[in-house]
Structure 1
Amino acid sequence: MLAPACLSAYLDGLQDVGRPISPALVRRGFAISMAFQSGLSALFPRELDEPVTSNLRALIHARAGMARFIVDELAATSLHA
């Protein structure tokens, strides 16, 4: 999965420029950013207006997985947990 590698690289970059930040805080920011940027579009792709095909089913399955990942990240990074 790419998310952990991206988080690690981002934290390394912050450290390299002398701006270390809590990994938990950066992960939470990443989760919130994904929710805003990708959350709704994951659930409602334009292709829903097209005829149902195996490709559309695969797309919806993949998008549901992406939405599930985003919701799980938000839950796992809650600052109230």
Structure 2
Amino acid sequence: MTTTTFTGTSTVDLIVSVYQDALGSADLDGQSDFFEYGGDSLTAFQITSRLQEALGVEIPVALVFAYPCPAELADVVEADLAQA
């Protein structure tokens, strides 16, 4: 797994990038479904770990399952960040 710094990147772009890397698909976009690209529980943990590292906040793995598209997950993460 590669480590990337995401300064100046929107939350959606960050999440899309993390999904692309974790799921091994460069054509994945903000509306792509985690499950349709072969996502599983191990991949969900990899995604949340990378996002937590990049954003500095805890992101429960359940959110990836509840909001499987990067754009949906970004909305929830941004709302949580706004409350912090």
**Into which bin does the TM-score normalised by the smaller protein fall?**
0.3 to 0.5
Q: TM-score, normalised by structure 2?
A: 0.32
Mark the structure with the bigger radius of gyration: 1
Q: TM-score, normalised by structure 1?
A: 0.33
Higher helix proportion (structure 1 or 2): 1
